[in-house]
Amino acid sequence: MKVWTPNATCIVMSLTMGTLVACGAVGAPIPPESVGVNLTIERQKKLEVLEQKQREAAAAAESAEPQPGTTVQGQDVDLPSLQPVGTQ
């Protein structure tokens, strides 16, 4: 029976994987200013202000558009009747 002996690459990979698992989440650290309730509240307030500005802009644009009941000048032109161009 032959006994398996680990080589250097296997040992290094095992140590690397063990270190990664032991450290928990791998990645860049997150600064404390980016996490928390106050930051979330500030972000929500900024979004609300932005949405309010968009609503005001949409209301202003809607009031500037002509009403659908009004007639536009130059649109009441009699067009020729639809007749076939050629015969088949």
Instruction: Please give the full DSSP string across the chain, using - where no structure is assigned.
Output: -PPP---HHHHHHHHHHHHHHHH-S-SPPPPGGGSSHHHHHHHHHHHHHHHHHHHHHHHHHHHHSPPTTSPPTT---PPPPP--SS--
How many Å apart are CA 52 and CA 33, to the nearest integer?
Answer: 27
Q: Which segments of the chain have a pLDDT < 70?
A: 1, 3-4, 6, 20-26, 64-78, 80, 84-88
Q: What is the pLDDT of residues 66-86, one digit of tens each?
A: 666 555 556 666 676 777 666
Task: Give residue 73's pLDDT.
Answer: 59
